[in-house]
Structures are given as C-alpha cells and as structure tokens.
Structure 1
Amino acid sequence: MLQLVGILTAMPAFFAPAEVVPAGAVVFAALGSLLNVTAFALILVDQSTVLVYSAAIIIVVAIYAGAVAVVSLLVPPGVERTVQTVAAIGIALLFQPVVGLLRRTVGRTLYGGRDDPAGTARRVRQRHDGSEAGVAAAVAETAELLRLPGLTLVVDGKVVAIARRTAADVREVEVPISTDGSLALRVVLRPGERALHADDRAALELVALPLALLAREADLSEQLRDARAATVESREWERVTLHRDLHDGLGPLLTGAAFRADAARNLLRSHPDAVDAQLEVVQADLRTALEEVRRVVDGLRPIELQDRGLWDALARRADRVGADLDVPDPPPVLTAAGQVAVYRIVSEALTNADRHGHGSPTDVSATLTPDGALHLVVQNPFAEDTPRGDNARAPGGSTSAPARPGIGVASIHARAEELGGSATIGSDGHGLWRVTVHLPPSVIGTEPSPTPRHRGAVDRA
C-alpha cells in the first residue's frame, strides 16, 4: 500500500511534461518518493549497511527537494539560493539520525529484539519462573521477541520446550550453544531466509543463557519433588519394616509370656510344682523379647554409637580386631546421618579385613580435606593370591581391576552414595587392600555429638 500511494503521488512530477506540472507537484513527488523508499526498506533491507545508507540518501534527498520546493513558493526569487544552502546544511545534519532511525525501524519491524539481545535476555529472565510452564512461556516469548517462526530448546539431547507458529514443512537449523552439545536451540528460519543470520546467532547465544537457567531450575524443582516423594516412601517403608519386626517378633513372644504368666498364677495354689516350669518359659520368652528389642533398636541406630559417640565407638571396634585408628585432633563432628554411615562403613571394612587379612595389621585413618570433606581409608596387607570373600580381586591381580561386588562392597558404596560421596575398594598395587571413602562437606555437623547415655533396662538385660 505504501508503494502504491508513493507511485501515484510521484508519477505526475516525474513523467508529465514540465509545462503541465503544477508548482505543488514537486512536494507530492517528494512525499511519494519517501513512501516508496520506506516500503522498499521494510521489504528488502536486511541490516545491510549499503542498502541502509542508500535508502537514507534517497530519503534525505527527497526531504531536501520537498523542503526547497515548499519554501520556494513562500519566499521571493532572490533568496532561493540562500534557502537552498540552508536546506542543504540542515539535510547534512539530518542524514545520520535518519540512518539510525531507518536501521532501528527496519530492525524492530522485521527482527524484533535482535539488535538488543541483552535487553531481550533480561526481559525473558525477569518475566518467567523455573516451572515447566514458565520455561515453555519463556521460549515462546523469545521466539516472539526475535520474530522467529519457531524455536525449540534442547538440553542434554532432550526437547524441553517448543514454540512454533508455522507449519511443519519449514527450514530449521540447530544452533549449538555449549561446546559439549548439552545445550542447543533449533530455529525455524524466517520466510525467504536460506541460512541463519550472524546477528540472529549472536542474539540466540545470549538469550539461551537465561533459558538454560530456567530449564535447570525446572529440573531441580522436579528432582526436589521426586526426592520428597522418595523420602516419604522411605519413611513409610521403614515404618512398615518396624511394624513387621515388632508384630512378628515381639508380638508372639510377649503374648505367650502373658498367657504363661496367667497360667502360672492359676496354678499357684492347685499345682505349685508346675509354676516353676511356666515361669522358666516366661523368663526365656522375656529374654528373647529383650534381645529382639535390642536388635530392632540397633537397626535404627547402633547402640554402641549412641552410648560412646562415633569416634570412641570406632576406637573400641578397632581395638577388638587389633586395628589402629588415626583421627584428627579434635575429631570432626558429623551429622547424625554421617555418624551412622561412617560407623557402618568402617565396621564393614574392619570385619572384612579381620576375616580375610589373616591377622595382618589394619590401619584406619580419617582426615579432613581443605574443602571440608571427610576422607576415610581402611587398609591392610594381603597376599596377591588370597581371595577376599565378597571383596576378592579380579583374576590376574591387575591393580586397575575393580573388586567383585558383594554384599559388603555394595553396602559401603550405597552408604557413601546416599550422602553424595563415593567409595573405591581394591588393591593399590603394592600389596595393600584399601577401602577409600570420600564424603562431602555436608556430613560435617555444627552441633556436638549426642552425649553418651547410661545403659537402660534393655541394655542391662
């Protein structure tokens, strides 16, 4: 429409004979040329410097011609040259602003926020949260702001969000953002484009950063929900296990003891000789019940750990098998979960060393790394051809061969990984069997360990 109006207003001044062209036709010709150049720029200009400057020259010449024509109608003929000079100076000063205005107008109309990628990225990050819906809305707004027909966010090879306003049969290119390919954008090209413009690529690389942060936030939120669900499930499973232990173990024992105590009371006068036999059974059942209580309580938290604290309990455990324990002074304070994990890991490693070490000396050391992590090492000499039970070496004695997985190995690995740590079990290649466990700084507590308690009735039994 702009081109049509421009042609109709400019044609009389350019093609009609001079004697029939009215004086004001030059003004309409200038306006028509301006409309034509504007339409031409909006359709064809692709941020090309040559085209932008060419269009700007045509625009300012048209403005100059129109201004001179209008002013010539209002002033005497003697001052026309002065008017032309002043108009030329004004147009020279106007040229650069016209170039900037033309560039911004074309860029915003055809390419949106491509010329201001930082502002586009800031707008996307501030207006959306880290939910799945927020990530999808952010991708859709990015495509809208950059005037892209379609945009897809890909993280670790998985499509996270898609925004598309065109049919499926379109030209699509993939823009890798990270060097390892874990983050990429799939872009649907605009109509008429054969390749992605360098300015589009630069803008997408910058806008992809807040999109990746939003996607990561959404992923962490999902992991948090899964972790909470797993915690609830684990808690319920522990309750079921505790219920089964109490019901199947203590229930029948205490019920039988109660019945026999009633029977002994009934026989006290009529058959006093039979009372002793009943009471002996009751006594045996109660002892068994107390042992069952100790087993259940020890399964929840080791009694020795509760009585003596972690490092004293480990020292006592090491003394029983003739091992040497080396810990920092003062010993580090661990969280409740860290105490149980360290106690179980070291106990399992000492049991394995005592079982398969044939009396060889065992060393246990605990150190704190500069970043605050806990490093545990349990090692003892062994013969190259000596199997280690569930920790037996791989055939051939290769130092790089991992230990054959068994219950003990799996238990150590599982307890370390539950706290975000890691475990390595095997030979060091110099005749030492070594269990190395690395636990993160999160196992270090800020509160003192529980004060050892006195033994209660269950413990004295």
Structure 2
Amino acid sequence: MRRIRQSFDVLVPALVGVLVAFMVVATSAFTAAIAAPAALVALASGAALWWRRRNPVLVMAIALVGGLVVQLVAPLTVFPLAALVAIGSLAAARSPLFSLPALVLLLGVISLNFRTTTAEDTQFVMAVAVVVCAVGEAVRNRRVALAQAAQRAVGEEQARIARELHDVIAHGVSVIVVQAAAADDVFDQRPDRAREALRSIDATGRATLEELRKLLGAVRPEERPGLDRLADLVEPLRAAGLHVDVRRDPVPLPAGVDLSAYRIVQEALTNTLRHAHASRADVVVRNDSGVLELEVRDDGRGGVAGFGRGITGMRERAALLGGTVDAGPLPEGGFRVRARLPLAVTA
C-alpha cells in the first residue's frame, strides 16, 4: 500500500507535466519560441504537484499561474490539468475558505478557452473542476468526522477512567486517613492499638493498589483494546487519507500497559489527523530493556495549536504506570510523540 501511494505521488506530477508539455509542443500552430516557454511552464506546474499534500495552497497558486500562462501563450493546447489535480488536493486538506476562492479562480482560467474551443468543451471542464473540488471536500469532511469521533472516544475513555479512579481510590484513601489519625491519637498510650491501625492502613493500601491494577488490567478484556488492534485503529485513518506505517516488536504486555499504550497511540494519531495536516505517520513499538517504547511521528506542521490537551492526557496515562511521554516538533519538520512505559509495575 505504501509503495502504491508513493508511486502514485510520483506518477501524477510526471504524467500531468509531460502530457501538457507534449500537447504544447505538438500543436503546430505555434513556433518554437512560443511552444518552448509554454512547455517549460507546463512541466513546472506538473512538478509542483509533488508537494500538493504538504503545501496544497502554494501548489494551487503555482498551478493556477502556470495554467494561466499556458492558456495565454498557447491557447489551442490543453486545459489546466495541473490545476484540476491541485484543486482536489486543496479541498481535501483545507477548509472551503481556501478551496472555494481557488475554484473560482480556476474556473476563470478555464473560461479563457471560450476563445479557442467550443463552449461545450469548456463547460465540461468547468464541471469537472467543480466535481473534483466537491470530492476533495467530501474527503476532508470524512477525515474531520473520523477525527471528531476518535476525539469523543478519547474523552469518554478519560471520563470513564476518572470515574473508576474515584470509585476505587476514594474509599481506600478515606479509610487510610481515618486510621492514620487514630494511630496518631493512641500512639503514646496504646501502641498496640496504633499498631493495629497501621496494619489496617497497610491492608487498605494493598487492597486499593490491587483495585487499581484491576482497573488498568483485565476488567472485561473483550472491551479493552490493546496493541494487537492497531490494524483496526489505523484502517479508518488510512481511509481518511493519512498513510500510517506500523512497525511493532512482538512484546508480551501486561493488560494495563497494553491498554495505555493503545490509547497513547490512538491519541497521537488523532492529533496528527486533526491538527497536523500530515500526509503520513509512522508508529514504532519496541521493547527497550524491559521498557515499552512507543514512537508516533508525522510529516505535518509541528507545534500547531490543539495538541496540548491530548498530550496532557497521554502523560497522565503514562504516569499511572510510572512511565513518561515526550512530545514536540522535529527539526526537519513534523511532530513526534514518544512514550516509555515500564513493563513491570512496582508496588
């Protein structure tokens, strides 16, 4: 799948540029002095499509200018194919505030062909441009809907964990506080009673710790996802246009670590899909000397707004297991989330 996508990203710019350049050169109505510059502009417009996923606004602008130049210099050649491809990518990546003005400009460039081609042909290409833009917008809406659904799921999971933590901890901590106060009151006069209170504190603490382990562990495991379900997690993201590559070492995991690792990866990918405007993300899971290491990196815009709350939630999850989460933009571009979770939880 990855190779197919990469091949497609290479072939589209090449085919569009070469096709338009060939049609310019092959048109006998123009001299070499006119055809050569127009062909170079066509090649440049096609080559710019290579960056259409990373910077669709700039690529759209280049395609519009290139299409306009070709139409003015060699109007008998071809419609602005590069711009037709670029408008779809722009609509899929940005809001209508960007795509609709670009579509209007594209229709204006296409309308120049009224001078040299039939009205039916020009209207057909205009309709194609509108359809391509609409398809791109549909892709973007689906991507946003998936991201919102994933965000809601994360929020619901966080709320569930908070409720369960309250139920588990509130009683145990209350008992410990009462017993500690009682031990302090009788410590000098009745050391035997103080010792009983301390034993009760010890027993209550151990019971509470066990409840916490159950909370993070195998409570109804059929409803608690783990890293073995990463394929199910990334499939809808791929369908939404985000290429996700997963590399995972076969590491046996405690149930609590498995669940938290899954949720951290889920949150990181959700942030990538929703905020980063990325085209790909890489997920790496490996065992580093008894510590589960997770790394999620993308090629989008690092450090954009919207990541803060999600990162806080990931850090809270990791801290419950004695782990850590580091997140931040990469020097070469993109964003990385790295988590380290101990495989052995100590009391």
Could you say which TM-score interval applies, normalised by the shorter chain? 0.3 to 0.5
Q: Normalised by the size of structure 2, how large is the TM-score?
A: 0.36
Bigger radius of gyration: 1
TM-score, normalised on structure 1? 0.29
Question: Which structure features the higher share of helix residues?
Answer: 2
